[in-house]
Amino acid sequence: MQIRILHIIDSLGNGGLENGVVNLVRHMDSRRFEHCICTVRELGANLDAVRASGAGITHIGKEGKRFQTPALLRVIRELRPDIVHTRNWGSIEGVLAARLGRCGATIHSEHGLESAAGSLPQRRIWFRRLAFELADRVLCVSHRLKDYYSRTTGFRARRIAVIHNGVDCGRFFPDPAARARIRRELNIGDNEFCVGCVGNLLPVKDHDTLLRALAILGGESKGWRVVIAGEGPTRPNLEVAAQAIGRLGVQTSFLGTWKRVPELLNAFDVYVLPSLNEGISNSLLEAMATGLPVLATDVGGTPEVVDDGRSGLLFPAGGSEKLANRLMDLRISTCLREQLGREARRHAQEHFSIQAMVRRYEDLYEGLAGRALPVPALVGG
């Protein structure tokens, strides 16, 4: 008999959390698990991918509604899931709804911080603590995130398990043919140095730091290309900033939502993640699995993914000068790029495989559905 899981998330956008849920649904054993995804705010770019996976989809719509608990309760009573799994603040009311609906078990996951500063309104701290207490399991995607939410809410760290995100290394891998094809499509010359980013254009992602780093390099950055894939509220300001550095010979392309991410990553020479905060970035793992040298900020769960100097290079959040120096080092040294790229892929394969992530979730779900609740340490990374 299949275990029915209801995943409640804010939207089906193209962010790391949403992509992670889609990957999980795609790779879990369909003979043992049945999935339904409920979105609170909107559907989004991952709708087709979810449909292709065979998961059910329901949408309650958040616009103009302050509280979603009654609507989520109706969904839970209709679907009668064995497990309700909520993620982040946008779906946290699902924990309360699951308890009111007397579903089998409830899991709440935290995948990142709500703001660049990491500070939270007191009411959110109180409600998050309540949700943590009501849930059968609380998860985080990194140890730093676990420590942060334990410290912020007062919820004991030993009651929070860690399951790292995983990457499909069979989908993301070095592909010279894709590199040549996409560079032709984007008109990137063989001798141009291409710096790339993929992700939502949000303040916390701090793409401004990348543009400032290129401006610091000045004339030394002539013949460089910057490719930014993704959509979000910071795009207009980023486009204005990119026009200014264009005078230095840096050509910047904003691709918007790009569906062929595995191909696109192959077109890059370097991947940059300049975020002010992160849980475990799926886009970073995908770049590493593709064999790219990665430059990422030393924040959140990123140091758990990038071994500085071996599988990538770290720089401080907002550190445009440090980023500029490291970009120049990579531009000059093909050998360094190749060395870091090889180690990045090896590290992703050995420590962040999607198979390992799926196994941990399958064990967790089966344990909860059987009410033989596993000790969090057996689930954590």
Residues 108, 185, single domain; the answer is: no
pLDDT single digits (tens) 3-52: 999 999 887 776 778 888 888 888 899 899 999 999 888 776 677 777 77
Residues 22, 127, single domain; the answer is: yes
Residue 373 within any structural domain of the chain: yes
Residues 294, 161, single domain; the answer is: no
Residues 14, 103, single domain; the answer is: yes
Instruction: Find the domain containing 15 and state its range.
Output: 3-166+353-379
Residue 7 within any structural domain of the chain: yes
Domain with residue 76: its CATH number is 3.40.50.2000
Residues 288, 333, single domain; the answer is: yes
Residues 210, 121, single domain; the answer is: no
**CA distances in angstroms from 125 to 79, 336, 375, listed in the order given:** 30, 44, 25
Task: Pick left, alpha or beta for residue 187 (phi over 0 → left; psi -120 to 50 → alpha; otherwise beta).
Answer: left
Q: Give the alpha-carbon dihedral of 239, 240, 243, 248, to 10 degrees.
A: -110
Structural domain total, the chain: 2
Residue 171 within any structural domain of the chain: no
Residues 160, 24, single domain; the answer is: yes
Residue 89 within any structural domain of the chain: yes
Residues 347, 358, single domain; the answer is: no
Residues 211, 238, single domain; the answer is: yes
pLDDT single digits (tens) 152-165: 999 999 999 999 99
Residues 358, 318, single domain; the answer is: no
Q: Mean pLDDT for each 10-residue chunk of the chain (381 residues)?
A: 91 76 89 92 73 82 72 94 94 95 93 71 92 96 94 95 93 96 95 94 94 89 91 94 84 91 97 93 95 96 94 96 96 96 96 93 92 42 42
pLDDT single digits (tens) 115-126: 655 677 889 999
pTM: 0.85
Residues 145, 81, single domain; the answer is: yes
Residues 308, 196, single domain; the answer is: yes
